Amino acid sequence: MTDDPRETAGGSPEGVSRRGLLGILGAGAAGLAIGGGAGAGIAAAVAGAQPRPGAQTYPFFGEHQSGITTPVQDRLHFAAFDLASSATRDDLRSLLEDWSAAAARLVRGLDVTEEGAVGGPLVAPPDDTGEALDLPASGLTLTFGFGPGLFDDRFGLADRRPAELEPLPRFSGDALVPAQGGGDLCIQACADDPQVAVHAIRNLSRIAFGRAALRWSQLGFGRTSSTSTDQVTARNLMGFKDGTANLKAEDPDTAAAVWVAEGDDPGAAWLAGGSFLVVRKIRMLIESWDRAQLQEQERVIGRDKGEGAPLSGGTEFTPIDLTGTGPSGAPLVDEAAHVRLAHPDTNGGAKLLRRGYNYVDGNDELGRLDAGLFFIAYQRSPAQFITVQSRLASDALNEYIKHVGSAIFAVPPGAREGGFVGEGLFA
């Protein structure tokens, strides 16, 4: 026992105090406190009918996982994990169960357990690390995926492996750093507050202790690809609007381009309603780019820098005319322009749902910003990404970027209420 005056004043019968409620009541009219389970109702009552900033929530359970066609949030913490060498099939299953239980609470703005950061015994480490105690859900989504390695001979899952879940081929210009790619499992945490995203990854990492460990992780900001027609197109660190032509949740084509359908892969029926996720850490050679003429930058991208309109004319959302030529007969959109080579018409109709983020990881020893785009794309089949990325071998943009990280994951469908993400793997 301690000399803690709160315990002498009114400890619980077990001699440990449960102070989640006390702490929340103490926060008073600010109405920002959502901590343990008891806190949610109180905070809601305090806040009354006025939605608080950051009050947006997305469901964890459902047909599909959230965080894919969800309107892309402002901040990212992406994490890849490797299972421990000692991990068993039961460990994997229990980890997915535990992650799901925690995730279902976290996306509601709650701590990972009911005891949470401050509601448990004084003489035990808290269940939750606490840095999000006063923060609302902030639109948090947690999206889980399975890397190819999960289907080797360790967990008896080889016969559940999606036929297309193979490590990506080598692409022209790859300069991959192994430590910045791959992984048995991944979690994409997106939120409108970076502290909420970081809190989620940290606590899920902690839950994994002994079963899986962080392999690599990446923070990002300034969503570069709108996934809803309600969103303004943001700019990447080349200064161009990025994602103008992205698939949007509202597009009638999106479902067929993103979700694995029943029957796509009879050997991996568990993946129906899921998707394939490709991530690529693309470092920008910022200094070279910044020294390029505006005309060269626009030629490389194929759009105007200010408005984001295609060089074939019009405004931002005008469809690109890949056939138009200028007075000299040269194409208005260069043969090597990024928008031409990435365009569905150049790729047999292949479309990706992108939801990438800008990143800055400080600077390198030469004083250059270590910055670029953390590319994230969801698609029904990895072939969609492979087709486009192969076409980009002749992309004029390649002079100004290098791909330093890469990973692929099969993203299972959403968990059912009372179930857990990836449950179908074990059926």
Q: Which 352-391 positions form the footprint of a copy of itself (CB under 8 A)?
A: 358, 360-363, 365-369, 371
CB 421, min distance to a copy of itself, A: 21
The residue within the footprint of a copy of itself, chosen from 194, 264, 285, 402 (CB under 8 A), is 194
Which is nearer to a copy of itself, 132 or 341 (by Cβ)? 132
Which is nearer to a copy of itself, 168 or 191 (by Cβ)? 191
- Cα 211–Cα 215–Cα 219 angle in degrees, nearest 5: 120
The residue within the footprint of a copy of itself, chosen from 59, 130, 173, 344 (CB under 8 A), is 130
Q: What is the phi/psi pair of residue 322, to 5°?
A: -80, -10
Using rule CB under 8 A, residue 42 touches a copy of itself: no
The residue within the footprint of a copy of itself, chosen from 257, 311, 353, 408 (CB under 8 A), is 311
CB 75, CB 194: distance < 8 Å = yes
Q: What is the phi/psi pair of residue 77, to 5°?
A: -130, 110
The type of residue at 296 is: E
Entry field: residues in the chain: 427
Q: What x-and-dash track marks residues 134-173 binding a copy of itself by CB under 8 A?
A: x---------------------------------------
Using rule CB under 8 A, residue 177 touches a copy of itself: no
Which is nearer to a copy of itself, 208 or 392 (by Cβ)? 208
Q: How many of the chain's residues bind a copy of itself (CB under 8 A)? A: 98
The type of residue at 108 is: R
Which is nearer to a copy of itself, 13 or 125 (by Cβ)? 125
Of 64-72, 155-163, 305-313, 373-381: span binding a copy of itself (CB under 8 A):
305-313
Site for a copy of itself in 15-34 (CB under 8 A): 19-20, 22-24, 26-27, 30, 32
| DSSP string covering 316-372 | TTSPP-SS-B-TTS-BSS-TT-HHHHTSGGGTTT---EE--EEEEEEE-TTS-EEEE
Q: What x-and-dash track marks residues 198-237 binding a copy of itself by CB under 8 A?
A: x--xx--xx------xxxxxxx-xx---------x-xxxx
The residue within the footprint of a copy of itself, chosen from 100, 244, 312, 347 (CB under 8 A), is 312
CB 362, min distance to a copy of itself, A: 5
Q: How far apart (Å, rounded) are the C-alpha atoms in residues 210 and 72?
A: 32
The residue within the footprint of a copy of itself, chosen from 43, 104, 112, 133 (CB under 8 A), is 133
Of 115-123, 167-175, 247-255, 343-351: span binding a copy of itself (CB under 8 A):
115-123
Site for a copy of itself in 243-302 (CB under 8 A): 286, 290-295, 297-299
The count of other CB atoms within 10 Å of the CB of residue 287 is 12
Query: What tokens does 95 get?
Result: 């980890």
Q: What contacts 237, CB < 8 A, 6 or more positions away? A: 284, 286, 358, 360, 371, 372, 373
CB 203, min distance to a copy of itself, A: 9
Coil, strand or helix at 4: coil
Q: What is the phi/psi pair of residue 146, to 5°?
A: -120, 125
Using rule CB under 8 A, residue 47 touches a copy of itself: no
CB 279, CB 387: distance < 8 Å = no
Q: How far apart (Å, rounded) are the C-alpha atoms in residues 107 and 204?
A: 12
Q: What contacts 73, CB < 8 A, 6 or more positions away? A: 138, 139, 140, 141, 190, 191, 192, 223
Using rule CB under 8 A, residue 51 touches a copy of itself: no
